[in-house]
Structure 1
Amino acid sequence: MACIDLNADLGEGFGRWRLTDDEGLLSVVTSANVACGFHAGDPATMRRVCELAAARGVRIGAQVSYRDLAGFGRRAMDVPPAELAAEVAYQIGALEVFARAAGARVAYVKPHGALYNRVVRDEEQAAAVVEGVLLADAALPVLGLPGSRLLELAAKAGLPAVTEAFADRAYTDAGTLVPRTEEGAVVSDPEAVVGRSVELARTGSVVARSGTRIEVRARSLCLHGDTPGAVDLAHRVRRRLEATGVVVEAFA
């Protein structure tokens, strides 16, 4: 039986500014990637999202990033490995305070934006992220792209490695995400996103930008919270998945 976790990036605001409809998305997803203050988020937002997630039984994940509030964590940066490891641990630790206060725990870690894409191939940066996770909690699962250096190194270090797919992002033939700077990187048609979600969950494959079908076997499916109409789209995805016999539940 096909089984998939639905995760979304939440808490991506700062002060009075909010980007994501956290309450709406938490009624749909099974895992919440909470911004930890480096690309978005602030202490009050982190606390609020943790409380909402805990009340709804949604697992809390630390979405760690390069220190880049101005660029929303999507700009390429060169951070020394020791510094990056410390910053990853710092972000996890900050979120853990609010997760515990809400009666839950940080259940996994997922890099964001430029860091997410960098650790697909960059062994040094991937190793630094893994070191940071180990500093915070040597049992935390790490969420990432199938075949990435991050997941390979996480598994070698004894951390559970959880594969992830994106229904609203275009793929290269190599199974990596098409950079956002390129045309067609984001799939904007809602029906296409819904269809690709079912395809990924049931067949473990998707059609790349070139038209070639590629294998993308994932345990979790990301629904971007900053997409216009994100909550309605998330509901449509979940309804279609369940209607086609896919079990929607958090990864173990």
Structure 2
Amino acid sequence: MYKYSIDINADLGEGIGNEAQLMPLISSCNIACGGHAGDEFSMQLAVKLAQAQKVKIGAHPSFPDKKNFGRLSMDLSSAALFKTIEDQINSLVAILKKENATLHHIKPHGALYNKATTDPKIASVIIEVIKAIHLPVYLYVPYNSIIAKIAIENRIPIVYEAFADRNYNDDLTLVSRLKDNAVLHNPDAVFEHVFRMTSKGKVKTIIGNYKEIKANTFCIHGDNPKALELVNILRHKLELEGIRIL
């Protein structure tokens, strides 16, 4: 008997080359579609691998900045930001149509994701793109974020996401990657992090406080050097605790 069910997602198609190893261990994936990484070949490969493992497929658009891997904010007009996000999603949708696959969700990447958490302008552009593409997709968003609130107001279906391998600040933003303690590398720490959020609805912040959080999907970054080990151990330990991966 399972006590809880969760989704585990990973950001893929980013040039790391571990998609074939990660895909059997996750239940949804976020495919880079040209903004920070990815091209037609990498998207098609990731889609085929996801289909083979029955993994839900998501688009992973970002600021158009491959040089900085989409992890630095860009000062774009709303129109320019709308166009690049729409173009990125449509590039993946075109491949999905060729492969007879379906787009399940959209999850912004890097600085775009982080900015949309607190910036109504950025969040609103993302929501307008989703409305414009006319596809029944979910949006992966952080709990209690600006983008979550705007999505709900616009009747965009959301899935609350948390990060299995990232530390949190007290305001539920992610600890900056410029800091040494931003990323979790220890499998036991990752498990405790996810198990606490799943079973207690609390996240332990970087200064030791416990804050309310909701999450139905948990991300392991595909570019984490220990991604395979982390997901393997996390899945095993969660299932021992009666948590099913869907």
TM-score for both structures, normalised by structure 1: 0.93
Contact 1:198–1:240 (CA under 8 A) maintained in structure 2: no
In structure 1, what is the equivalent of residue 102 of structure 2?
A: 105
In structure 1, what is the equivalent of residue 211 of structure 2?
A: 214
Deviates further, 22-31 or 139-148: 139-148
Structure 2 CA distance for partners of 1:20 and 1:9, relative to 1, 3 Å: farther
Contact 2:185–2:226 (CA under 8 A) maintained in structure 1: no
In structure 1, what is the equivalent of residue 50 of structure 2?
A: 53
* Aligned residues: CA RMSD: 1.2
In structure 1, what is the equivalent of residue 13 of structure 2?
A: 11
- Trace 1:230-241 onto structure 2 (pairs within 5 A): 230-241=227-238
Give, as a single letter, the amino acid of the residue that structure 2 aligns with 1:133.
I
Give, as a single letter, the amino acid of the residue that structure 1 aligns with 2:220.
L
1:114 aligns with 2:111: yes
1:202 aligns with 2:199: yes
State the alpha-carbon separation in 1 of the partners of residues 17 and 194 from structure 2: 21
Deviation, 1:188, is 2.0
Contact 2:187–2:229 (CA under 8 A) maintained in structure 1: no
State the alpha-carbon separation in 1 of the partners of residues 17 and 144 from structure 2: 29
Contact 1:54–1:103 (CA under 8 A) maintained in structure 2: no
In structure 2, what is the equivalent of residue 227 of structure 1?
A: 224
State the alpha-carbon separation in 2 of the partners of residues 138 and 56 from structure 1: 23
Deviation, 1:138, is 4.8
Contact 1:87–1:132 (CA under 8 A) maintained in structure 2: no
Matched position secondary structure for 2:25: coil
In structure 1, what is the equivalent of residue 124 of structure 2?
A: 127
Deviation, 1:20, is 4.1
169, 182, 185: which one aligns with 2:179: 182
Matched position secondary structure for 1:27: helix
Matched position secondary structure for 2:31: strand
In structure 2, what is the equivalent of residue 84 of structure 1?
A: 81
Gaps of 5+ in 1: 14-18
TM-score for both structures, normalised by structure 2: 0.96
Structure 2 CA distance for partners of 1:157 and 1:139, relative to 1, 3 Å: farther
Give, as a single letter, the amino acid of the residue that structure 2 aligns with 1:223.
I
Matched position secondary structure for 1:186: coil
- Trace 1:152-163 onto structure 2 (pairs within 5 A): 152-163=149-160
State the alpha-carbon separation in 2 of the partners of residues 27 and 155 from structure 1: 32
Contact 1:202–1:246 (CA under 8 A) maintained in structure 2: no
Number of equivalences:
244
- 1:152-191 CA distances to partner (integer Å, 9 max, x unpaired)? 1112111101110112111111111111112311122222
State the alpha-carbon separation in 1 of the partners of residues 102 and 57 from structure 2: 7
Give, as a single letter, the amino acid of the residue that structure 2 aligns with 1:5.
D
Give, as a single letter, the amino acid of the residue that structure 2 aligns with 1:153.
I
1:146 aligns with 2:143: yes
